[in-house]
Amino acid sequence: MRPRVYVTQPIAESALVRLRDIAEVEVNQDSSRIPVKDKLIDAARRSDILLCLLHDTIDREVLAANPNLKAIASMTITPDRIDVAEATNRGIIVSNIPAVVTDATADIAFGLLLAVARRIVEGDKVVRSGVFPGSQSNHLAGAAVSGKTIGIVGMGRIGQAMARRARGFDMTVLYSDPHALPAEEEQKLGVRLVSFDELLGQSDFISLHPALNDETHHLIGERQFALMKRTAFLINTSRGPIIDEKALAQALTEGRIAGAGIDVYENEPKIERALLTMNNVVLTPHLGSAVMELRERMAHVVVDNIAAIAEGRTPPNCINPTVLAPGA
Residues 6+ away with beta carbon under 8 Å from 25: 5, 7, 16, 19
Is 268 catalytic? The answer is: yes
Cis peptide before 182 (omega within 30 of 0): no
Taking the C-alpha atoms of residue 42 and residue 192, their distance in angstroms, rounded to an integer, is 52
Catalytic residue, chosen from 239, 245, 256, 272, is 239
CB 115 within 8 A of CB 172: no
CA atoms within 13 A on the CB side of 85: 1
CB atoms within 10 A of CB 166: 26
Is 185 catalytic? The answer is: no
Catalytic residue, chosen from 119, 165, 256, 286, is 286
CB 87 within 8 A of CB 57: no
CA atoms within 13 A on the CB side of 259: 21
Is 239 catalytic? The answer is: yes
Three-state DSSP at 58 gives strand
Catalytic residue, chosen from 268, 296, 297, 300, is 268
Active site residues: 239, 268, 286
